[in-house]
């Protein structure tokens, strides 16, 4: 699976949009982009995933560039409860073992 690069930390004001970037320049055609987050030491929580089209759900939006080498997770109206470590993961559809490789992630701090 392709590796990802994320900034180690970001701040965001409460109520504003949080835009978390992820670089995955070596991504291949059958690899999906996933986002999970981990609040403190709780179990990671799934946020969203996509292949090449932009995706939106009740939690967030995922914007994938046309060349698929990078993506952005958007939390439209960040709240204090969104403070967490956000992980961008790339994995192949054919990776049946589902060995998600969690890198360092981005520590998002939402401030009042």
Binding residues (CB under 8 A) for other proteins: these are: 32, 34, 36, 41-46, 49, 93-105
| DSSP conformation class of 43 | P
Q: d(Cα 29, Cα 48) in Å, to the nearest integer? A: 18
Kindly state the smallest distance separating residue 11's Cβ from other proteins, in Å. Answer: 22
Q: d(Cα 16, Cα 41) in Å, to the nearest integer? A: 25
**In this complex, which beta carbon is closest to other proteins, that of residue 14 or of residue 59?**
59
Q: d(Cα 56, Cα 8) in Å, to the nearest integer? A: 24
Among 15, 14, 19, 3, which Cα is nearest to 106's? 19
**In this complex, which beta carbon is closest to other proteins, that of residue 12 or of residue 73?**
73
Kindly state the smallest distance separating residue 58's Cβ from other proteins, in Å. Answer: 13
Kindly state the smallest distance separating residue 17's Cβ from other proteins, in Å. Answer: 23
CB distance 69 to 21 below 8 Å: no
**In this complex, which beta carbon is closest to other proteins, that of residue 40 or of residue 66?**
40
Kindly state the smallest distance separating residue 32's Cβ from other proteins, in Å. Answer: 6
**In this complex, which beta carbon is closest to other proteins, that of residue 26 or of residue 45?**
45
Q: d(Cα 16, Cα 78) in Å, to the nearest integer? A: 6
């Amino acid at each position: 699976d392709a590796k990802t690069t994320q900034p180690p930390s970001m701040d965001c004001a409460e109520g504003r949009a949080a835009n978390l970037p992820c670089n995955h320049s070596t991504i291949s055609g059958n690899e999906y982009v996933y986002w999970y987050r981990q609040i403190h030491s709780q179990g990671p929580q799934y946020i969203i995933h996509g292949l090449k089209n932009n995706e939106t759900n009740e939690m967030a939006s995922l914007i994938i560039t046309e060349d698929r080498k990078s993506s952005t997770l958007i939390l439209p109206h960040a709240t204090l409860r969104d403070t967490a470590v956000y992980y961008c993961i790339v994995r192949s559809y054919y990776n049946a073992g589902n060995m998600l490789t969690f890198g360092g992630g981005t520590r998002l701090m939402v401030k009042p």
